[in-house]
Amino acid sequence: MSVLRLEQTSRWFGNVVAVNGITMSVGPGITGLLGPNGAGKTTLIALMSGFLAPSAGAVTLDGEPVWRNTGAYRTLGLVPEREVSFGYLTGRQFVLANAELHGLRDPGAATRRALEVVDLLEPAGRRIGTYSKGMRQRVKLASALVHDPAVLLLDEPFNGVDPRQRLHLMALLRRMGAEGRTVLFSSHILEEVEQVARQIEVVVSGRHAASGEFGEIRRLMTDRPVQYVIVADDDRGLASRLIAEPSVLAVALRTDGGVDVSVSDFGAFALRLPRVAREHGTRILEVRPTDDSLESVFSYLVGG
């Protein structure tokens, strides 16, 4: 049972701070590293896997530094986001090369086992350049698993994968977590994380924004103020009535028509809006959220 620990870890490149003072622990089971593109997820995974040295702070595996620690490298498996650049190799040759680099006693048998785990035995003799995106993801996973690591790190593993292959990869990750491995994967898509991980670490702009079980993070996101634009046949009258609602934080008339409404509890607001309109004979023509992107959710978490 291995545990990765980051303690006030920072990494900068010249004047650019990619990771800023992050403290977190990643233990057995599946952890989702959630954040918008450019949040620092790839840098964090590079730090955890020993490919980057922290500029400040520490990254440890079971209490030992990861950077320049060959013992730690043998415990870690990494599936990078970047595409496999060895398209001229067959899947078997690619996985076998990693088995030999690890100095395994029987690299051929280890290669076969890893390919079998990811269901790639049959096409293993084909060149990687002929593989689909999902197959390339799986051969990278086989290479990461060939030395049977206790810790598996995956950077955006579902990017570009079709729905069937996504389900297959998700099932594989669940199995790895159930076996007691420490599995961390990054994603910028909340729904992907929800389907696989229960523990979530949220990062935004290189900072640690939130940490907890999925339900806790979902509640944080659900309870944040939500912005709506509402268009009615009587905008001014609707605005004056909505401002009295307990779930409404602010109301403003738009110069181009409609009403900007900031809501603290969108569940209560969704129930009250049609009732308020009906009670006062107002016709609602349009309701649309204006901040439903993940970036707005993450910004709220950081600000909170």
Which of 195, 221, 247 is the C-terminal boundary of a domain?
221
Computed on alpha carbons and rounded to an integer, the radius of gyration of the chain in Å comes to 24
Same domain, 39 and 176: yes
Query: What pLDDT does 133 receive?
Result: 85
> What burial class does residue 255 get, using C-beta atoms within 10 Å of its C-beta: 0-12 exposed, 13-18 middle, 19+ buried?
exposed
Q: What is the DSSP string of 168-193?
A: HHHHHHHHHHHTT-EEEEEES-HHHH
Same domain, 161 and 235: no
Which of 206, 221, 236 is the C-terminal boundary of a domain?
221
Same domain, 106 and 148: yes
Query: Is residue 38 very low, low, confident or very high in pLDDT (cuts 50, 70, 90)?
Result: confident
Query: What pLDDT does 219 receive?
Result: 65
Q: What mean pLDDT is reported for the chain? A: 88
Same domain, 152 and 296: no
List beta partners, residue 12. Answer: 17
pLDDT in tens, 12-22: 999 999 999 99
Same domain, 49 and 176: yes
Query: 143 and 175 in contact (C-beta within 8 Å)?
Result: no
* CATH number (domain holding residue 289): 3.30.70.920
Query: What pLDDT does 304 receive?
Result: 46
Pairing of strands 29-34, 182-187: parallel
Same domain, 256 and 192: no
Query: Is residue 198 very low, low, confident or very high in pLDDT (cuts 50, 70, 90)?
Result: confident
pLDDT higher for 29 or 226? 29
Same domain, 179 and 276: no
Q: What is the dihedral of CA 276, 282, 283, 287, to 10 degrees?
A: -50
Tally the C-alpha atoms within 13 A of residue 79's C-alpha that lie toward its C-beta.
Answer: 28
* CATH number (domain holding residue 29): 3.40.50.300
Using CA atoms, how far apart are residues 165 and 42, in angstroms rounded to an integer? 22
Same domain, 124 and 270: no
261: left (phi over 0), alpha (psi -120 to 50) or beta: beta
Which of 164, 196, 221 is the C-terminal boundary of a domain?
221
* 3-state SS class at 80: coil
Q: What type of residue is 65?
A: P
Same domain, 247 and 236: yes
Cβ neighbour number for residue 167 with a 10 Å cutoff: 12
Same domain, 191 and 251: no
Per the structure, how many domains does the chain have?
2
pTM of the model: 0.74
Same domain, 82 and 189: yes
Query: 65 and 58 in contact (C-beta within 8 Å)?
Result: yes
* Host domain of residue 231: 224-303
Percent of the chain with pLDDT over 70: 91
Using CA atoms, how far apart are residues 227 and 250, in angstroms rounded to an integer? 9
Same domain, 101 and 163: yes
